[in-house]
Amino acid sequence: MAESTQHKLDRVRPPRVQITYDVEIGNAIEKKELPLVVGILADLSGKPLEPLPKLNERRFTEIDRDNFNEVLASIGPRATLQVNNTLSGDGSKLNIELNFKHIDDFDPVKVVEQVTPLRRLFEARQRLRDLLTKLDGNDDLDKLLRDVIANTEGLQEIKSARPDTAAPAPAGDSEAPAEPQA
């Protein structure tokens, strides 16, 4: 007689939850195991772009550690949020849409990559970290950057310059004067 799939899976990957009970058969006590089957009925898709099928048309999906990412991608959970924009400090709201297709999409860095203002800040942070790495052991570059930072007089001049106080364009030049960049 062929071995059942349940017993084959017990050898390959034993279940984490085993429920047993004692049964008295004659004068002997025998242990019987109850199979554990869990079914979850839930809308785990968040705010789907397409409407979900009716409840009676849906089928159970077996999920395990081997197919979790495929099932997650097929569900396509999505979250749309409106949060306070604390980055600008002007009291505005920021519309955010998060999509999850893989378990790794829940990682904080992956979430940051989906929010444009946070992604820009994170990229700037990475560039600063790269600069710090380049400064490590490079005394010439370190001295040059310290000189640039120490020259606050020139920096203040550039910041205080206004477009209306800039030098007028030479005659015959049709382009407007370039605005100074801080």
Q: Lowest-pLDDT range, 87-96, 122-131, 144-153, 166-175?
A: 166-175
Q: What is the pLDDT of residue 4?
A: 67
Please check whether residue 182 is in contact with residue 163, taking contact to mean a CB–CB distance below 8 angstroms: no
39 inside domain = yes
> Does the structure show a pLDDT above 80 at 66?
yes
146 inside domain = no
With tokens 């079914």, the residue in question is: 39
122 inside domain = no
16 inside domain = yes
Distance CA 166, CA 179 (A): 8
**Count of domains for the chain:** 1
pLDDT tens-digit map of 150-182: 887 767 776 777 655 544 444 444 444 444 444
The pTM score is 0.57
109 inside domain = yes
10 inside domain = yes
What does each C-alpha distance from 120 to 14, 100, 114, 115, 116 come to in angstroms?
46, 20, 11, 9, 6
Residue range(s) defining the domain that contains residue 17: 5-51+59-114
152 inside domain = no
